[in-house]
Structure 1
């Protein structure tokens, strides 16, 4: 095991020195990288031979697949030494970026106003697609509403995830006796497996649609989706101001008979405040000049558009990103 770890670290060092890219599926890979990370991103006028870590999420989630594609794009078009980091997603990603342990992170915008999020150290690069809250159960559990969750085993997502944040906010809006909710904190892949084998009764997913894990189990197990009541949606909108009433379309997953009422949350790509203007400019330029490549990675990315790039994001944008958007006529020249 120790020899394997040494091999991985040696491979990363070789990649950096040789100018190649790597795809990081182990969090420890980013730790030696951060020792040289800061000096790399603050120097020079382009991304060539710059180390670029992208904080993503669960390997089965949309963040991860899009992060891998972005990593490949930054290498292909900018010569960046780039890799992805598996994380618990939104909350953890903002922490990693603000502490310079990652250059870029995916996050949902509701995370940005949490007390633990240091917005002063973060800057937005661009708005992305929306996450949809998907509350999933199996037909055999006979769960049709949030009220039916009393006494049930419910997964609300991992610590540090936007899924857990959203699940807890929704459950707090209900009249359910919280001491009668049996909660677990599993990843997307663990949650899907637990639904299939019956060790949990329902699970919250907050992700782009379709979620890969839900899509997979829907082809093997008959699923049901629990709607979010209108009054809860409206109260969450009033309280936080970042949620949108939406629907999961009826053709999203196998076996769905009708659309499901839910809420969606905009995602944003963030970096830290000290990233150079030219570096941030090139990142955003590469993303939008080659957007079809990103959109082919997952259907959720089809909602990414430059016209919406600066909307619904409660965070100051990086000046390098704003320069690019000004050149494209998206905002007035600064």
Structure 2
């Protein structure tokens, strides 16, 4: 297992799961310990990683497994850390899995040590500003001060791709603030807008809506179609009116699913199998959906083989075992070489 010193997330809603680490039974040495990378504070993956730790450690009280949620810069960083063996598990999206599997920007090398678990979230890329800014379209961001998300985050990748699709990336005064920092900078007049990719409702955008009259900048359908051709895994996402305070209209966004990922050398088959089994157990449905941002709603799409076939990244052996037991036919291309029938 990965023995690196890690940063433990200290979010209040799952504090009990982390406090439980200090009161493990005498069989402590026999515990398998797994780190799961989420993202930074204010992002959905941060919350979901903590929720998974709470489920396994506190709700289920798994006799052989302990999970620690790790703060990271986001999906790009997660993918690199898991592939390199510096982190056991993380979360990543279809478009970034597709890119890393092929060594395409923002990655410089092809991933060889990533296996995929089940879908845990559906994200939409949102552009948030205040109505008083006068910004109505993505083209209007030219010349404006815009946070595109921290380096290593999925948000930063989506922000840049969208701005380039509109031909304004080089004209925008970009910064790379964290997910909790951007709303404060917008409120303080230090930003004109910010981008964030997350499930809904997104805590950062909820905060902005509470500070003034929120305006969400829509993306055009033809730009989504263009991005889908360049980076398979994207899809249109309609952000429904009323998602945020004062939001009166639907807003079209760029969307995608994201998944648990794991390094097969660090995460045994039984670990992923147990995680998938417990996440899909109806007994824990209420708890998982009670997490902020309606966490884990994308479990309804599992196993999501069509999207994963697009990405081309093999499933984790534990994930394959679970679905085969359920009678689901797994495409041969998604079965990892280490899987044994």
2:307 aligned with 1:312: yes
Superposed displacement of residue 15, structure 1: 7.8
Q: 1:325 to 1:175 in 2, by over 3 A?
A: same
Does the CA-based 8 Å contact 2:118-2:299 persist in structure 1? no
Superposed displacement of residue 204, structure 1: 0.6
Question: 5+ residue gaps in structure 2?
Answer: 9-18, 332-340
Q: 1:81 aligns with which of 66, 79, 88?
A: 66
Partner of 2:78: 93
Partner of 2:116: 124
Q: 1:105 aligns with which of 75, 81, 90?
A: 90
5 Å-filtered alignment, 1:119-198, equals: 119-176=111-168, 178-198=169-189
Partner of 2:43: 61
Question: 5+ residue gaps in structure 1?
Answer: 9-13, 21-39, 41-47
Partner of 2:277: 285
| 1:11-49: CA deviation from partner (whole Å, max 9, x where unpaired) | xxx9878637xxxxxxxxxxxxxxxxxxx9xxxxxxx61
| 1:186-241: CA deviation from partner (whole Å, max 9, x where unpaired) | 11111111111110101111000110111122122111111111221110011112
Please provide the CA RMSD for this pair: 2.4
Superposed displacement of residue 303, structure 1: 3.1
Structure 2 length-normalised TM? 0.81
Please identify, of 67-76 and 299-308, the stretch whose mean Cα deviation from structure 2 is larger. Answer: 299-308
2:277 aligned with 1:303: no
Please identify, of 67-76 and 112-121, the stretch whose mean Cα deviation from structure 2 is larger. Answer: 112-121
Does the CA-based 8 Å contact 1:162-1:206 persist in structure 2? yes
2:225 aligned with 1:220: no
Please identify, of 284-293 and 165-174, the stretch whose mean Cα deviation from structure 2 is larger. Answer: 284-293
Superposed displacement of residue 258, structure 1: 0.3
Partner of 2:329: 331
Task: Provide the aligned length of Structure 1 versus Structure 2.
Answer: 296
Does the CA-based 8 Å contact 1:295-1:302 persist in structure 2? yes
Q: 1:215 to 1:330 in 2, by over 3 A?
A: farther
Superposed displacement of residue 118, structure 1: 4.1
How many angstroms apart in 1 are the aligned matches of 2:314 and 2:219?
31
2:17 aligned with 1:19: no
Superposed displacement of residue 121, structure 1: 0.3
How many angstroms apart in 2 are the aligned matches of 1:175 and 1:98?
33
Does the CA-based 8 Å contact 1:15-1:81 persist in structure 2? no
| 1:267-312: CA deviation from partner (whole Å, max 9, x where unpaired) | 0110012232222211211221234322221325223226444341
